[in-house]
Amino acid sequence: RAKLLALVAVGCSALAIASVAWASGAKTTVTIKGPDHVYGTIKSPRSSCLGGRKVLIYKQKGSSQNHKVDQKVYSTTSTKQGNKGIWDAGNPGLGHGKFYAEARKSPGCKAGFSKTVHF
């Protein structure tokens, strides 16, 4: 009986660890290109993190990214194409400045931010 209780305890611990890992989500990598046609990609080891992701484009105000302060200038949704997600903002008329993209956090997927680009 003691062995059975120990086995159940180990099984419960493994499930708890797995649920914490799932809650933290899969890594997400985002790119942004432009300036006249603004688009990019999303990469993640989890296939479900590629399509249907909300992507926001921010105009960076300071010397570093801060999506809580920077101006949101456009949003779109990614589509899955093969082993990556594709997002496309067309020509949103961003003007000049520093811009970056964020793929929002979704169930099982961490948020991801692109590098800042200058248009």
Q: What is the mean pLDDT of residues 70-91?
A: 97
Q: What pTM does this model have?
A: 0.80
Average pLDDT, the chain: 88
DSSP reduced 3-state for 106? strand
Q: Output the six-digit token pair for 53.
A: 């992701």
Residue that the structure tokens 């991801």 belong to? 112
CB neighbour class for 68 (10 Å; exposed up to 12, middle 13-18, buried from 19): exposed
pLDDT tens per residue, range 21-71? 445 799 999 999 999 999 999 999 999 999 999 999 999 999 999 999 999
- How far apart are the C-alpha atoms of 2 and 4, rounded to whole Å? 5
